[in-house]
């Protein structure tokens, strides 16, 4: 290693760009590389979100209709027939909880779960989830079970 082949580590030296707007002799004076006229040449310019140079923005071109309720709660629907399948397979004995449904892949851990009345339930199960339809609740209690809302 000699003095003539010493150089700084990779990425240690940052070459500054040419300074803008510092006189004509600098090569970037006058308009300071902003071009002539127009909003972009002026101080304080900031492009609006979605601005497409005067073309009608996508947000306004796309048709919109209906109503989106931002407070809507999405429930994962599980039918009584699925609960009966769990009993038939032997994965569930007496009690069905949210954890049981997650383990068997019928719901995710953060889901809100609602039991629906489709299918037939013969086993007397203690079911504890977020919601039940009226027909599901009646069917669970008719089979000798219990419906508990969380």
Q: Order across the sheet with 75-79: list the strands.
A: 75-79, 112-116, 131-132
| C-alpha of 96 from chain center | 29
DSSP structure class, residue 117: -
76 and 112 Cβ atoms separated by less than 8 Å: yes
Judge if pTM exceeds 0.85. no
Alpha helices in 8-133 (DSSP H): 58-61, 80-89, 98-103
Instruction: Locate the domains of the chain by residue range.
Output: 74-147
CATH number of the domain at 74-147, out of 3.30.450.90, 3.100.10.10, 3.40.50.150, 3.30.390.10? 3.100.10.10
15 falls in which pLDDT band (50, 70, 90)?
confident
122 and 85 Cβ atoms separated by less than 8 Å: no
Per-residue pLDDT of 119-142, as tens digits, reads 998 988 999 999 999 999 999 999
Indicate if the pLDDT at residue 79 is higher than 90.
Answer: yes
């Amino acid at each position: 290693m000699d003095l003539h082949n010493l150089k700084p580590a990779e990425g240690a030296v940052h070459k500054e760009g040419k300074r803008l707007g510092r006189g004509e002799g600098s090569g970037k004076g006058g308009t300071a590389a902003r071009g002539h006229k127009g909003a972009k040449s002026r101080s304080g310019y900031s492009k609006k979100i979605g601005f497409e140079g005067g073309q009608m923005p996508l947000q306004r071109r796309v048709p919109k209709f209906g109503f989106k309720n931002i407070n809507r709660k999405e429930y994962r629907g599980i039918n009584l027939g699925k609960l009966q399948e769990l009993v038939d397979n032997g994965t569930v004995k007496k009690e069905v909880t949210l954890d049981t449904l997650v383990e068997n892949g019928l719901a995710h851990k953060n889901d809100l779960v609602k039991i629906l009345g489709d299918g037939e339930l013969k086993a007397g199960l203690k079911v504890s989830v977020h919601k039940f339809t009226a027909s599901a609740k009646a069917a669970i209690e008719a089979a000798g079970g219990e419906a508990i809302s969380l």
